[in-house]
């Protein structure tokens, strides 16, 4: 398990400021490496997405952003979210139409998510064996996957207790 995944597993007991700082540092480094611009607005949107381990909707991002950027409008937020997704810094949780910070930013991986239906906590998991199994299943079906996102809904350990 990666450090980020371990932090998300313990989402109720860890210092979340560390997650946000790690995400921002990784984003700055990756963008500099790739020669793309992580503008202050994009950075703020990333910070808002990372404020918890629960997916956040675009309009929640807009509401938060409007506190510090009075001119923020939906297209502004969607452009920032699109940039962050394109750079692999966040994921879109399709079933919730919401966004979540990527704990594996910069590393090739699938989007594998455990979503608590009670508290909303969402954990990104990285499992090479599961990735390989999905690749093999696709090959057997002679299916060429272009994007892979697996969302599993249930109860987190705390909510199940």
- Model pLDDT, residue 14: 62
Beta strands per DSSP E along the chain? 90-93, 98-101, 111-116, 122-124, 149-154
Map out the domains of the chain with their CATH numbers: 3-160 (1.10.10.10)
- Tens digit of each residue's pLDDT (9 = 90 or more) over 41-77: 999 999 999 998 889 999 999 999 999 888 889 999 9
Per the CB < 8 A criterion, the answer to whether 132 and 144 are in contact is no
- Residue 80: name the closest of 60, 108, 58, 55 by CA: 58
Q: Nearest 5°: phi and psi at 71?
A: -90, 5
Name every residue whose Cβ is closer than 8 Å to that of residue 86 and which is 6 or more positions away in sequence: none
| The model's pTM | 0.82
- Give the confidence band of 10 by pLDDT, cuts at 50, 70, 90: very low
Exposure on the CB side of residue 54, measured as CA atoms within 13 A: 12
Please tell me what DSSP assigns to residue 12: T
- Examine the pLDDT at 140 and tell me if it is beyond 90: yes
Query: By three-state DSSP, how is residue 127 classified?
Result: coil
Identify the residue whose tokens are 């590393």: 107
């Amino acid at each position: 398990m990666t450090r980020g995944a371990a932090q998300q597993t313990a989402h109720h007991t860890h210092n979340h400021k560390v997650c946000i700082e790690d995400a921002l540092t990784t984003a700055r480094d990756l963008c500099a490496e790739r020669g793309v611009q992580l503008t202050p607005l994009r950075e703020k949107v990333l910070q808002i997405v990372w404020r918890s381990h629960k997916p956040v909707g675009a309009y929640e991002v807009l509401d938060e952003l409007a506190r510090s950027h009075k001119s923020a409008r939906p297209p502004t937020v969607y452009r920032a979210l699109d940039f962050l997704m394109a750079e692999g810094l966040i994921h879109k949780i399709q079933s919730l139409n919401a966004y979540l910070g990527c704990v594996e930013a910069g590393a090739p991986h699938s989007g594998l998510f455990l979503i608590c239906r009670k508290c909303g906590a969402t954990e990104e998991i990285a499992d090479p064996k599961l990735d390989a199994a999905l690749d093999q299943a696709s090959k057997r079906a002679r299916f060429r996957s272009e994007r892979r996102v697996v969302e599993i809904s249930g109860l987190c350990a705390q909510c199940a207790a």
